[in-house]
Each structure stands twice: as structure tokens, then as C-alpha cells.
Amino acid sequence: MVQIKTPEQIAKMREAGLVVAAIHAATREAAVPGTSTRDLDQVARKVIAEAGATSNFLGYGGFPATICTSVNEVVVHGIPDDETVLKDGDVISIDCGAIVDGWHGDAAYTAFVGTGHAPELIELSRVTEESMWAGIAAMRNGNRLVDVSRAIETYIRRQPRPATGKYGIIEDYGGHGIGTEMHMDPHLLNYVSRKRGKGPKLVPGFCLAIEPMVSLGTARTEVLEDQWTVITTDGSWSSHWEHSVALTEDGPLVLTAPDGGRAKLAQLGVTAAPDPLA
Ligand code: MG
Ligand code: MG
């Protein structure tokens, strides 16, 4: 069953989404050489507390922090600690969320620490982010869930191959419905699977967290002994981008983007829905 939201409920989710956007802005500024991933978690905690929101990551299945910090070959679910100190040349993906009045937001981004990154790493992040936007642009009334998966996969497959061979679209994790819980039905694949059918129809009130994860090598992952940290099996570096998106009568509203996705969607020929809080 897919939870369909009213416009009032989407406005609440927008509030949560803006807290997530604020965590992104603050952690982005703090992700410099010499900062530990624990420091970044403290930055996130402060933003959440000051907003009067709560964390949906802290305590989730026993997760011990408010953000996931995934450095280099770590794909997702890295745990902040004192030992992981960012250094020049690192690539970090930060994933976090917030709850406002029971409604959830969830979003992630990839950032470059310091300078001197190889062009294929910069391109990897660009391709991953753009594939997310292609998926968001497919959040159209009358489309099916598979149309979002297809838009993400097609975007990635149409890019020039990296020097490492090809992009690995991570298959073990994907997007999800979001609302009164962080993870709800339906699961959203980042590729088209013939086994899965077309999925539900996208209608106003349908909310999805769209989150492609792409590596410079394999699509396969394994979980480390800490039971959380997900790495690529070949050690290739990866990128992760995510936004929470609501479909409305007037099109998609990117709940976790400061401008609701307006500028980026306009480039793709899509008009973002009006911001209910504006
Ligand atoms: Mg997330
Ligand atoms: Mg998510």
C-alpha cells in the first residue's frame, strides 16, 4: 500500500525537508580537511536541535548517529567516528534526515574534500546527481514507478563510459516511499527490472525518496563487520545523491531542495510545484 498525502501533509513534509536542506548546507561547509566525521555529526545534531526537529537516523535499527558519512569506497551507511578525519582528495557522501510533527525528510549529497580530485570522480558525482534529477523529472502524474527507475538508468547508461570501464549502478539499495516513516512502500530500483513490473501509478500525494548510488566499477556491495558500512566489493569509489520528492496536482515538489527543485527542473523542461510554505 502506498501512503497518499494531502496538500496539508505535503506542507509538513516540506518543513522537514527544509531542515534536511539546512543540515546539508551546514555539513557541506564543515566537510574540509582535518574535520572528523564525528565533527560533521555534531554539526548535524545542532541544526536539527535548533530547528526543533528530531532525527530519523539516530536509533534507526540501532544506528548510532544523525548522519551517515560514507567516504571514498564506502557507498552508504558509514558511521561517523573520531578516527575518520577528512583529508585532501577524499570524496564523502553525507545522508541525513529529519522529522517535523511526525513527517519525514531524507536526502544525501556527495562532496569533494579539499582539491585535486581526478576528473572521473568529479564526473561520477555529476552523473549520479544528474541521474537523480532525471528520476525526479519523471515524477509525473500518470507515469508509473518504473518510469522513474528507467529515467535514472537511462541517464547513466547514456553517459560516456569512465576510464575505469563502466558505471556500476548499485543494486542492493534503492529509493523508497516516505511520509510518516522514513522507509515506506514502494521500493524504488535505480534500474529497470523485468521481474518487478511497472509498479504503481504516480498520482498527486505520492512521495518518494529518489537516491541513485553509482560506482566507478562494480554494482556489487558488501556490509562490513559493524553491520552498517556498505562498501563496493572491488573497492571502487562511489557517489550517492538523494532528494525527497512529493508529486502534486501541479507537478513535482523537491521537498529537500531549498528552492523546491525549481531551477534545476526548469533546465529539464519541468515546472516545479509551488512551495506550500512560500
Ligand atoms: Mg537517505
Ligand atoms: Mg533514503
Residue 90 in marked binding region? no
Question: Which range of residues forms the domain containing residue 11?
Answer: 7-268
| Per-position b or e across 166-196, b if 16+ CB within 10 A of its CB | ebbbbeebbbbbbbeebebebebbbbeeeee
pLDDT digits 0-9 by tens, 74-110: 999 999 999 999 999 999 999 999 999 999 999 999 9
φ, ψ of residue 37 to 5 degrees: the values are -65, -25
Residue 95 in marked binding region? yes
Residue 259 Cα to ligand 1 middle (Å): 19
Residue 68 within any structural domain of the chain = yes
pLDDT digits 0-9 by tens, 196-242: 999 999 999 999 999 999 999 999 999 999 999 999 999 999 999 99
Q: Is 125 exposed, middle or buried (0-12, 13-18, 19+ CB in 10 A)?
A: buried
| CATH assignment at residue 208 | 3.90.230.10
Residue 183 in marked binding region? yes
The pTM of the full predicted model, rounded to 2 decimals, is 0.98
Residue 278 within any structural domain of the chain = no
φ, ψ of residue 195 to 5 degrees: the values are -70, -25
Residue 176 in marked binding region? yes
Residue 36 Cα to ligand 1 middle (Å): 20
Neighbours of ion ligand 2 (CB under 5 A): 106, 209
Residue 273 within any structural domain of the chain = no
pLDDT bin (cut points 50, 70, 90) of residue 268 is very high
Structural domain tally of the chain? 1
Nearest to 136 by CA among 27, 255, 228, 258: 255
